[in-house]
Amino acid sequence: MVICETTDGKTVTCFETIESVDEENKRIAFKLFGEAIDEKYKVFTSTFEAIEKDGGSAAVKWSVEYEKVSEEVHAPYGYLELYDHVVRDIDAHLVEDEKVTANKN
């Protein structure tokens, strides 16, 4: 799968593949790769975990594991910022859907 996102003010293209799925713990690990990733990181894995809460709600935990190709490479703060924006957009969408559903009842 190809994804194009803006990180650090630049548009980059990378690929992702599902590395593992743990249905019992509601966890999916994605491996990111491609020129934009490979030139900076030996390993770049992003893990999504859904954590059930009381009352039928859930929280999402994103974690990133990476290994830099050299000490000169910065930590992937741009990707972390991207995840933050994506999660906020999804949350806003879900809250809006919940309001629409509540108004129909």
How far is the first Cα of the chain from the last one, in angstroms, to the nearest whole number?
A: 39
User: Residue 45 is encoded by which pair of tokens?
Assistant: 């894995």
The tens digit of pLDDT for each residue in 43-63 reads 999 999 999 888 888 888 889
The tens digit of pLDDT for each residue in 12-41 reads 788 889 999 999 999 999 999 988 889 999
Domains and CATH numbers, the chain: 2-104 (3.30.530.20)
User: Residue 64 is encoded by which pair of tokens?
Assistant: 């990133």
pLDDT of 78: 79
In this predicted structure, the answer to whether residue 6 has a pLDDT above a threshold of 60 is: no
Residue 41 CB-density burial (10 A; 0-12 exposed, 13-18 middle, 19+ buried): buried
Rounded Cα distance between 24 and 7, Å, is 32
